[in-house]
Amino acid sequence: MKTRTLGKDGPASSVVGLGCMGMSDFYGPADPSESMATIKLAIDSGINLLDTGDFYGMGHNELLLSEALKGVARDRYLLSVKFGAQRDPSGAWHGYDARPAAIKTSLAYSLKRLKTDYIDIYRPARLDPNVPIEDTIGAIADMVKAGYVKHIGLSEVGSDTIKRASAVHPICDLQIEYSLLSRGMEQSVLNTCRELGISITAYGVLSRGLFDPNWGTTPITIGDFRGYSPRFQGENLQKNLASLEAIKKLAKEKNASVPQIAIAWVLGKGSDIVPLIGSRRVTTLTDSLKALEINLNPQEIKWLDEAFPEGIAAGTRYAAPMMSHLDSEKG
C-alpha cells in the first residue's frame, strides 16, 4: 500500500488508517473475534496506522489491539493513541485532564496495555481548558526525549492552539472529523496545518454510518451514541439521508459503493490527508479498501464539493455538551 508522510518529518503512514474506536465503544456491542480479524486484515492489506484512545472502552481497545497484534513485528504498525478524556465506571464523561503529571500516568498505562516500549503518535483527545497547551505539549516532548513517544499529534483543536503547540515541538498531524458532511476544518484549520507542515488524519469519513447504504435497516442498539447524536434525529436524519442522492449518482457511474466514493473524495483532497476507516467488520473493511482503486478526477471532486457545501448537514456533529469541548469549532 502507498504511504503518506505525516508532517514534515513524521512517520510514513499507509494512505489510509484503521480507526479502532467502534470495536470497544460508542457504536453498540462489537464481536471481539470479528474485531481482531479486522485488525489482522488491515495489517495484511498494508495498513500500518492504527488509531486508538486509552478511554475507548476504558482500556479495552488498547488491550484488544495488543492481543490482535501478537506476533506482528513492531515496525509493521504505527500506534496513534489519544489520552486525557476522563470517565467514570458507568462510562459517563468528566472532562479532560492534560496536566503534565497526568500525561505521564496515562502514557505508562497505555504502554502496559499495548505491550509496547513506545507510542508512535501521542495526542491529547481534546484541549484541556485548564492547562495551557504549551504545558501539555512540553510534557509529551519530555516523553519523546525519554524514548517513550516518537511523535506528537493533536486532536480537534483550532488554529490558534495549533500554532501555539507547534511552537513548542513539531506536530506531525491533527486528527479531526472530515467528510462530505463535515467540512468545517476547511474554513481555517486546514490552511493553518498546511502552512505549518502538519498533516491531517481524518476520522468520521463515512459520517458515522450515514454513508452506509444499509443505514436504518436495523434499530440502534444500546450504547450506540447515534441514538442521541443530533444528525441522526428526526428531520435532521431525513434531510441528511436525502442529501446523499448526489453521491449515489456518482457511485453508480463509477461502479462503486457510496462509502468507497466518500473515502476516495477525502483521499483526493490532498496528499497530506490520511482517512481513518472506522471498520469493525472484515466485510466493511474489505469494501472500504476498494476506494483505493478509485481515482476521482478534478471535475468529479469539484462536483462533489458543490453537491456537499459546508453547512449542508442538518444537526451538529455532537450533542451540545460535547460540542462545547471542541476547540476546533472556534476556527
pLDDT of residue 212: 79
Residue 56 annotated as catalytic: yes
pTM for the full model?
0.93
pLDDT of residue 90: 82
DSSP collapsed to 3 states, 152-187: EEEECCCHHHHHHHHCCCCEEEEEEECECCECHHHH
**Which burial class, exposed, middle or buried, applies to 17 when counting CB atoms under 10 A from its CB (0-12, 13-18, 19+)?**
buried
Please give the Cα distance from 126 to 194 (Å, whole number).
21
How many C-beta neighbours within 10 Å does residue 28 have?
Answer: 16
pLDDT of residue 26: 73
Taking only the tens of pLDDT, the chain with its 331 residues reads: 999 999 999 999 999 999 999 899 777 778 999 999 999 999 999 999 999 999 998 899 999 999 999 999 999 999 999 999 998 888 887 889 999 999 999 999 999 999 999 999 999 999 999 999 999 999 999 999 999 999 999 999 999 999 999 999 999 999 999 999 999 999 999 999 999 999 999 999 998 878 877 766 566 666 776 766 787 778 888 888 888 888 999 999 999 999 999 999 999 999 999 999 999 999 999 999 999 999 999 999 999 999 999 888 877 777 666 767 778 877 6
pLDDT of residue 233: 78
Joined grid coordinates for residue 68:
490482535
Residue where the block lists cell 470517565: 87
Joined grid coordinates for residue 166:
507547534
Overall CATH class of domain 3-330: alpha beta
C-alpha 291: how far from its chain's center?
17
How many C-beta neighbours within 10 Å does residue 148 have?
Answer: 19
- H helices of 69-148, in order, are 100-114, 133-145
| Among 27, 56, 148, 318, the one annotated catalytic | 56
